[in-house]
Amino acid sequence: MTSPNTPDLVFVAAIAAAHGVRGECKVKTFTGDPAAAFTYGPFLDANGVEILRAKRWRPVKDGWVVAFDKEMSREEAQALRGTRLHVPRSALPALDEEEYYHADLIGLTVETLDGTPMGRVKAMHDFGSGDLMEITGTPERPGDWFLPFTHACVPHISLKDRRVTIDPPEEVGSKDEEEGGEG
């Protein structure tokens, strides 16, 4: 996600918790190659100020355990919980055609193939079965909803026009219809 204060920064990881007693932190990364987040240089805050440098990292079940070059107590590490870690966009690898950083999609207008407004991209997620686009503000549809981030469901993205065109699958009928009831 692009930082609101400094658009040339990209949010690539967050500190989830302290790990152990040696000041290490459990970190969740949001990069295509999860380990690459630690190779883009020092981590910056949302204002572009250097806050941490990864010294060592190792994968764990749902993230990474990271030792930073700044020695910390467990309490100091725990105080960093929720810290968002950014890097300069220039540190990230170049993208191929039709590849996008998730950060560039957040906030884009969403519409269907026929131009019907569908809200805005709220977030991008990967819960283990592929990328999902979270959409918010869809007229006549309460709450946020998810759409698979595939070429079939998201056939066109225009960063220049700040627009995502979607082709969502047909809506499933009502529960009464599914159960053969009246509806």
pLDDT tens sequence across 105-162: 989 999 999 999 999 999 988 777 788 999 999 998 889 999 999 999 999 999 899 9
21-35 per-position pLDDT tens digit? 989 999 999 887 889
**Average pLDDT estimate for 9-14:** 90
Query: What pLDDT is stored for residue 180 in this prediction?
Result: 47
- Please report the pLDDT score of residue 147 as a whole number: 94
DSSP letter for each residue of the chain: -B-SS-TTEEEEEEEEEEETTTTEEEEEE-SSSGGGGGGSSSEE-TTS-EEE-EEEEEEETTEEEEEESS---HHHHHHTTT-EEEEEGGGSPPPPTT---HHHHTT-EEEETT--EEEEEEEEEESSSSEEEEEE--TT--S-EEEE-STTT--EEETTTTEEEE-PPPPP--HHHHTT---
User: What pLDDT is stored for residue 35 in this prediction?
Assistant: 92
pLDDT band at 7 (very low <50, low <70, confident <90, very high): low
pLDDT tens figures, 67-119 = 999 999 999 999 999 999 999 989 988 888 878 888 789 899 999 999 999 99
pLDDT category, 171, cuts 50, 70, 90? Answer: low
Q: Please report which confidence band the pLDDT of residue 58 belongs to, taking 50, 70 and 90 as the band edges.
A: very high
pTM of the model: 0.68
- pLDDT category at 172 given cuts 50, 70, 90 is very low
Q: Would you state the pLDDT for residue 30?
A: 83
